[in-house]
Structures are given as structure tokens and as C-alpha cells.
Amino acid sequence: MYQEEYKRWLAADLQDADLNPELSKIEGNDEEIKDRFAVALKFGTAGLRGVLGAGTNRMNIYVVRQATQGLANWVKTQGGNQTVAISYDSRLKSDVFAKTAAGVLAANDINVRIYDALMPVPALSFATRYYECNAGIMVTASHNPAKYNGYKAYGPDGCQMTDDAAAIVYEEIQKTDVLTGAKYMSFAEGVEQGKIRFVGDDCKQALYEAIESRQVRPGLCKTAGLKLVYSPLNGSGLVPVTQVLKDIGITDITIVPEQEYPNGYFTTCSYPNPEIFAALELGLNLAKETGADLMLATDPDADRVGIAMKCPDGSYELVTGNEVGVLLLDAGADGVEVLRHLEGLLHRDVLRRVGVDGKGQPLQRDAALRAEIGDVPLRVNAGVRAAAASEVHRCAGDLLQRLLQRLADGDGVFLHLPAVVGRSIIHQFQCDITHIGSFNDAGRVIFPRKRARRDPCPARPLPPSSHPDRSHRSRR
């Protein structure tokens, strides 16, 4: 079967000049042909990701066309603005794939808003919401090695596409022939017809203003005298990250020269993950030379950051995501601003799971799941409200434990979850939340004010009856 598909590609008039030499080179090599054609890249909630090259199991313009046709079929059932936002990073062929996707969407009479230069995932998410799009596409393979590229799909809320939507898109992809099934017009033709438009300066400015408005302590950076080294790791972060830093008042910024400009080959580090030492080595050396207080690095699509802080002895220590979370909680007004942000994410995720969007409009969700999850209110401190479900599961267990302990030792917290979610959290982290408070069948976890004992693991959990719910709520 895969041999027939290989021969079909070999005989086709392919528009990507890189594909024919590769196909000719592997002629007669069954293992190489099988690797490329025996299976196809599968579309899921994270979209597509694979090695660049020829075949159904590789990332190329034909696989991108097929995936975009499947997405277009789903978008056409959604009503709304019939618009999709697109961005891309510095990886090999990212710009080509982005324009290819735009051409498929335009041929399907779907409007496109595409960035005129590479921009990171958060910018794509923002543009999706700013233009009230039905979906968003980000061409990237995140922090994987240079031989990879990918295609991430986002829903109208700018978040990763839901399981249900991704399943429908995948079904539509399977109905589409990879070489001939997708509608397509050239990027230039789409622009000429007005179906493809660039993201405007108003959207970009709104993005920067939105980021600046979410400072935990506005104005602090302008007087801190912070000296910083930053590396975009040859990705998409250079322009937006330096702009944000300058907006909040950080002007003493030194860019790692070898990693400053976009380069999809990532020649300075084979694995551009800013959370590992090898990727930060050049930046750390420069930080030592300049005496920087802080060293930051972002991955190619700039949705992941690595941080190294200067220690009193002059050395630099890499900070984990869990540690950053705890520092952020300490930085704000008892962490309330950070909690609001985190809980906003949780609330959004649960709304999607129970079947409504942020405006209360129904989504296509499974009725049984809605009945099982139900409404999920969450109250923390001064009336901050949100909800908890799959986003909680993705939070690091260590951070969650420290967060819960901090709240337990502080002003107290009243947390109300349905039992199915509460038990899921306990199972996910293989920990017992009752060690800190109490957990009953209604899914209620209550942390008393100012526990005299700081040990997070008492011998037995306090029974629910020992926590006066009513008086606890009245104190807020």
C-alpha cells in the first residue's frame, strides 16, 4: 500500500522543489519509503508535528494543505466571522507553510489574518481573539530540533483546540486526498481578492498594551535598574520580547549575538529548549561577562521561557517553572493578581468542558460530560472566582502543593469542586489534598485560617465538620 502511495508522489508534478530529489533518492529503499508513507501524521489537539520531508508521515506543503482543508471544513460549520488568524516562527519552511495554509483557507472563502513577519504563539492567540476568529493556526514545532516543523490549531478563544473539535477536523482530513483534495489559490491571489489580510498595527499595539496592563507591580521595573541578558534562541521572540521589556521600563538589555536573529537551523544548540543548560550556555557566559542580574531565553515560538538568576556569589542558577510560580505568588499582593490570572485560565477551560464559551454560548460538547462535570465555582480570598479542571491537572504537582500550603498558612481559602474533579486532581498528583485541609464527597476542600502547625501532612485529615463553612465565608 505504501509503495503505491510512494509511486503516486514520485509521478506527481510536485510544487515543492525539495521533494522530488528526496523521493528519487529513496527509490528502491523499502525501509525509507515505509517510514515516509506507511502512516500519516495524525492531527490532534496539538495539531501536527513531524520531520520535514516528502511523504504522508512528513511535514510538507501537501500535508499542510490537507490539514488546512480539514480545518476549513470545520470552520465553515461554525458561523461567526469565518476568519482564521495565522502566525509562524523561524523554523525551516514555517513562512511557506503559513502562506500555504492561508491559500487553502482563501480558496474555501474563509478570511485570513496573517502576521507580516514571524510572531510567537501568544501573539497568534491574541490576534485570534482580537479579530473574533473562528480558529487560529501557528506554524511551529516549539522547541524541537531543527529537522522538525509543525502546525498547531487554536479555537476561537485562542486556546488549544478542544478534543471534540480536533476529532472533527481529523475526520475531515481523512476524507481529503493529500495531493489533490484541498482547494487552493496562491497567496498573492488571496491577497488580491481581499481574502488574505495582514494583522494590523492596531492589533499589535493592543497586544503590547494588554501585556503591560498586567504587571503585578506597575512601575517597579522602571526604577529597579535591572540589567538583563536575553536570547531568542534564533526564534520569534526578539521583537515582541524586547518591546515588552522596554514597555515595562527595562532598558539595559544585552542580546546574545549568536542567537539574536531568526535561524531555523538553530546552529548554536541542537535542541532549542530554554529550560536546559545547553541552550542557555551562550547567554549565561554573556551574563557573567556583563554582570547581568537576570538571563532570559525563549524557545522558537516564544511560548516557553528559561530563566537564570544571579546569586550572591556571582554564579547563576536556573529557575524551574515551579519556582517561578512561587516567586510570582510572593511578588504580588499576597499573590492575588497571579491567582486571578491562573484562575481565569481554569475558569475558561472548565467553561469549555461543560459546554459553553466565555459569553455563555453553547459549544458542541458531550451532554454526559456536561452532566458529570456540572458548574464548578471556585472562591479564593477576596472573592476571586474561577474554576478547576484539566488546566489544574497540567499544573506542576510541586507548585500546587506549595500554593495550597501558602494559602493554608495565610488568609485561608474556601475551595469548592465537584467530587469527580477533586478526585481527579488527587489521582493526577498521587497526593492527598486532605493532608492540608479536608475533602468530602461533595468535593469541598477547606483550609482554615492561620494553622498553628505548618506541617502539611498531619497524621489524619481534619473532618469536614471541624471547619465552619458559614463563618469562613463571612470573613471574606
| Beta carbons of 85 and 113 less than 8 angstroms apart | yes
Q: Provide the pairing of β-strand 227-231 with 294-298.
A: parallel
d(CA 350, CA 93) in angstroms, rounded, equals 36
d(CA 197, CA 111) in angstroms, rounded, equals 8
* Options 87, 142, 231, 438, the catalytic residue: 142
Q: Give yes or no: 270 in active site.
A: no
Tell me which residues are annotated as active site: 142
